[in-house]
Amino acid sequence: MNTFVAPAVEWAALTPVLILLAAGVVGVLVEAFVPRTSRRAVQLVIGLLATAGALVTVVWRWTVVADAGPIEVVGGSVIEDGPALAAQGILALLGFVGLLVIADRTESGEGAFVAQAAARPGSVDEADATRAGFAQTEVYPLTLFALTGMLVFASAGDLLTLFIALEVLSLPLYVLSGLARRRRLLSQEASMKYFLLGAFASAFMLFGIALLYGFSGTVRLDGLAQAVPATLGMDGMLLAGAVMVIVGLLFKVGAVPFHAWTPDVYTGAPTPVTGFMAAATKLAAFAALLRFVYVVVPDLSWDLTPFFWAVIILTMLVGTVVGIVQTDVKRMLAYSSIAHAGFVLIGVIALTQEGISSVLFYLLAYGLATVGAFALVTLVRERDPAGHVTGEATHLSQWAGLGRRNPVAAVAMVVFLISFAGIPLTGGFIGKFAVFSAGIDGGATVLVVLAVLASAATAFFYVRLIVLMFFTEPDGETTAVVSSEGLTTVAVAVCAIGTVVLGVLPGPVLELASQAAVFLP
Q: What is the DSSP string of 363-392?
A: HHHHHHHHHHHHHHHHHEEEE-TTS-EEEE
Are 95 and 371 in contact, with CB atoms under 8 Å apart? no
Q: Quote the pLDDT of residue 415.
A: 94
Q: Quote the pLDDT of residue 65.
A: 87
**Whether pLDDT at 180 is above 60:** yes
**Whether pLDDT at 144 is above 90:** yes
Angle at 342 between CA 347 and CA 316, to 5 degrees: 140
d(CA 103, CA 423): 31
Per DSSP (E only), the strands in 316-456 are 380-383, 389-392
Task: Tell me the percentage of the chain whose pLDDT exceeds 90.
Answer: 54
Question: What confidence category does residue 311 fall into, taking pLDDT thresholds of 50, 70 and 90?
Answer: very high
Task: Tell me the percentage of the chain whose pLDDT exceeds 70.
Answer: 95
State whether the Cα torsion 209-337-511-490 is positive or negative.
Answer: negative
Question: What confidence category does residue 300 fall into, taking pLDDT thresholds of 50, 70 and 90?
Answer: confident
Q: Quote the pLDDT of residue 367.
A: 94
Nearest to 242 by CA among 199, 213, 281: 213
**Whether pLDDT at 150 is above 60:** yes
The radius of gyration of the chain from alpha carbons, rounded to an integer in Å, stands at: 22
Question: What confidence category does residue 336 fall into, taking pLDDT thresholds of 50, 70 and 90?
Answer: very high
Question: Any residues with CB less than 8 A from the CB of 399 and at least 6 apart, and which?
Answer: 329, 380, 393, 465, 468, 469, 479
- pLDDT, tens digit (0-9, with 9 covering 90-100), for 448-465: 999 999 999 988 889 999
Nearest to 346 by CA among 441, 246, 422: 441
Nearest to 241 by CA among 214, 259, 223: 214
The larger pLDDT score, comparing residue 107 to residue 38, is at 38
- Which of 130-144, 397-411, 435-449, 506-520 is modeled with the greatest confidence? 435-449
Nearest to 100 by CA among 490, 497, 496, 495: 490
**Whether pLDDT at 118 is above 60:** yes
**Whether pLDDT at 17 is above 90:** yes
| H-state helical runs in 217-300 | 221-227, 235-253, 261-268, 271-276, 282-291
- In terms of DSSP bridges, do strands 380-383 and 78-80 run parallel, antiparallel, or are they unpaired? unpaired
Are 346 and 369 in contact, with CB atoms under 8 Å apart? no
**Whether pLDDT at 5 is above 80:** no
Local structure of residue 479 (DSSP, 8 states): E
Question: What confidence category does residue 1 fall into, taking pLDDT thresholds of 50, 70 and 90?
Answer: low
The larger pLDDT score, comparing residue 210 to residue 185, is at 210
Mean pLDDT of the chain: 88
Question: Any residues with CB less than 8 A from the CB of 227 and at least 6 apart, and which?
Answer: 215, 216, 217, 218
Question: What confidence category does residue 398 fall into, taking pLDDT thresholds of 50, 70 and 90?
Answer: confident
Sheet holding 479-481: strands in order across? 389-392, 380-383, 479-481
Nearest to 337 by CA among 225, 462, 224, 160: 462
Going from the C-alpha of 242 to that of each of 2, 150, 255, 395, 423, the distances in angstroms are 32, 21, 17, 41, 36
Phi, psi for 180 (deg, rounded to 5): -65, 140
Q: Quote the pLDDT of residue 179.
A: 87
Q: Quote the pLDDT of residue 374.
A: 94
Q: Quote the pLDDT of residue 231.
A: 58
CB atoms within 10 A of CB 164: 16
The larger pLDDT score, comparing residue 21 to residue 116, is at 21
Q: Quote the pLDDT of residue 2.
A: 63
**Whether pLDDT at 267 is above 70:** yes
The larger pLDDT score, comparing residue 121 to residue 347, is at 347
**Whether pLDDT at 521 is above 60:** no
Q: Quote the pLDDT of residue 233.
A: 58
Question: What confidence category does residue 301 fall into, taking pLDDT thresholds of 50, 70 and 90?
Answer: confident
> Which whole number is the average pLDDT over 142-163?
93
**Whether pLDDT at 119 is above 80:** no
**Whether pLDDT at 141 is above 90:** yes
